[in-house]
Every structure is written in structure tokens, then in C-alpha cells.
Amino acid sequence: MKRIYLDYNASTPIAPEVAAAMKPFLTAHYGNPSSRHWAAITAKEALERARGQVAELIGCHDDEVIFTSGGTEANNHAIKGVFQAHGGRNAHIITTQIEHPAVLQPCRFLERLGVSVTCLPVDSHGMVDPDDVRKAITSRTILVSVMHANNEVGTIQPIAEIGRITRSHEILFHTDAAQSVGKVPVRVAKLGVDLLSVAGHKLYGPKGVGALYIRRGVTVEPLHHGAGHEAGRRAGTENVMLDVGLGAACRAAQRWIGMAALRTLRDYFWQRLKTEFDDKVVLNGHSTMRLPNTLNISLPGHNGPALLAALKGVAASTGSACHAGSMEISPVLKAMGVRPEVALGAIRFSLGRATTRKEIDYVLGQLGAAVAADAVKPAG
């Protein structure tokens, strides 16, 4: 069976240069970077080099980057850490209805501690209105958290505009940039954020590693307490091999920022879909302010999971990976006001560095044959 991978927003393969950078730390370089002897030197140098590579990609100082176990920990650290350092039971946090569960669930947890959480709506394109952020701010607001790009539909949020609002109100601003780092330019100063989350396996690095940017001068309570690793901000001996992998992935990603070739391929895919299905196919998400590799479409009247099952050997998604297998309407599409008969027919194709036009043509053929043969039953 031919295998085609179009689920790069869920996870990416480890890039060859990343694997090569990690390999020596499986065997030869086993020292603890916090130790004071010869075995620690190589590990410590590699760790700090990796930190610098992450910092270079997002445009910050090396000492503003701490390594985490992934995007989920980075989000939890940012949200809970700000609450513990600056908030109390009367605190208020602003986020959106389309955030990843790694943001929404920490907010729900803090609600149980008495925190008030405002989840802002989005428009039909999946975009939040900065003016809604402004109107939601109160004297109790301690944090605004808005994702940079949505993992399901790819819509890129007006983060810089929101950043200007939070800065004028002297409120901390966090963005989950797991999906955008390595795909579009992400510079913390231009975005105006105080905290930013990175996930390694979204940019051709290993799973189980991420990073949190914390702007100089911002106090965030550690999520893990213990010894003074990561300048006292995250206890626990660093996983040097994974951190090195993340650094190498960030360095390699600089060659791919903007993904012009992928954008062209994605647009070719969309134009062919419109031709094949006589303009009955629906685009979910913003038409232009969208990740260059992401195409979320619906075939109204069809069942997305059944339709995807008919695409033999094609790895894609009916929503985010965290909702795989669920027959419920995606919370993101629901927040966008997508009609149920349209939302149930949604499929997310996310392209990657290895995707070819030949593969896209194959998927188009499979999809056309499936629909023509009535291979899927109408939704509902």
C-alpha cells in the first residue's frame, strides 16, 4: 500500500541533521551538565549551544529560554507560573475558545482555585478580534494567552496587535507558538509577547522536548521545584540529547521559514479540490492569514472520519490529533460557527518538507474516487 503522510501539524519526522546532532549523546557524552568535572563540559557546552539556537530562531536572549518536556509543559508553566507569581483567588485570565487543550485545561484547573477565566470567541475564519481582548481586560487581569496559529485550521492570530494592547495595560501576554515556530517568522519583540511556548516535534525535532521563552524581568513561579537547574526556573537534570535535538531543529528551521514551496503546493491542492468538486468543497480557516502548510477542508454531507478511512494509506486528520477518533464536532470548528453538516465532513491536510505534487495528485485521485463511488455515508 502506498503511504502518504499529510499530518505534519500532528507531528513531524526527525530531520537527518537533528538525528545526527543527537546521536553522540546516546553513548559518548553522558555527563551531567550541572557537574564540575571533565565529563560535564561537553554536555554543558552542548546544552548552552542548543539554548542559543532556540533563542536565535525566535529572536531573544539565550537566558530567556528554558527547556521543557514539550509544548504542554511550557504552556502549563506559563499559565500556572504567572498565576502563582502574580495572582490570587481573585485573579482573571483571558484566553480564546480555540486554544489547544494544553492551554484551556490549565485555565480550567485555575478556575477550581477561584480564578476567573474569559474565553473569547472567534469569527468564522477562526480569528480573535483584538478589540474583544481590550474590552475583556479588568483590573484583576494578570495574563492574556492567545495561540499564534491554530493547529486545526491554521489561522494566524493578530498577536502583535494584541501585544500592544497588553503592554499598554501592563498585563503579561503568553502565546502558544507550537504550530508557528519554524513555519512562519516568529520574533518575540515584534509579537510583543512576554512568554512563548515551543514544541520540538512540531518542527522536525524529537518528541518530549520544548522550550518556554520568559522575557527578562518577568517573574514566573517554577512548575517543578528542586535543585537550581535552568537558572532556578525548572528543576530536574536537563535531557541534553533532546535539548540538543531541539536546538538543531531550530537551526535547520531557519532555512524553511515562510515555506514558499509548500505554500505553492498547498494552494495547488486547494485549487484542484475546487475544480474536482465543482466548488462544493469548503475551506475552513482564513484564506490568507494561515499557516503555509495547512489546508482544512469540508465536503458537506459527508462524514470526515469515514471519508478519511477511504483514503487508503493516507495519513491525515479529521481535527487535531488530540481529538482523533471522536465523532463530535471539533470545538474549533464549533467556535467558528461552522454548520454541523459542514464540520462533520472536515479533514485537515497538513503538508511537510517531504511532500510532493505527485503525492497530492494521488490523494486527489483517491478522494475523487471515494466520493464518486459514494464510499462514505452522508453525515447525520
Q: pTM for the complete prediction?
A: 0.94
Q: Do 66 and 183 belong together in one domain?
A: yes
| Whether pLDDT at 204 is above 50 | yes
First-to-last C-alpha distance (Å) of the chain = 31
Distance CA 55, CA 58 (A): 5
Q: Is residue 188 part of a domain?
A: yes
| Domains: count for the chain | 2
With bands split at pLDDT 50, 70 and 90, how would you rate the model's confidence at 303?
Answer: confident
CA-based nearest residue to 291, from 339, 346, 243, 351? 351
For 259-268, what is the mean pLDDT?
Answer: 94
Q: What is the pLDDT of residue 327?
A: 65
For 297-314, what is the mean pLDDT?
Answer: 88
Which one is catalytic: 60, 107, 119, 322?
322
Q: What percent of the chain has pLDDT over 70?
A: 96
Q: Is residue 380 part of a domain?
A: no
Domain final residue pick, 225, 253, 281: 253
Indicate if the alpha-carbon torsion angle 218, 113, 174, 94 is positive or negative: negative
Domain final residue pick, 253, 270, 304: 253
More confident residue, 154 or 372: 154
Q: Do 249 and 265 belong together in one domain?
A: no
CA-based nearest residue to 115, from 86, 93, 95? 93
Range of the domain at 65: 16-253
Q: Is residue 285 part of a domain?
A: yes
Distance CA 71, CA 76 (A): 9
Q: Do 218 and 300 belong together in one domain?
A: no
* Residue 322 among the catalytic residues: yes
Q: Do 166 and 245 belong together in one domain?
A: yes
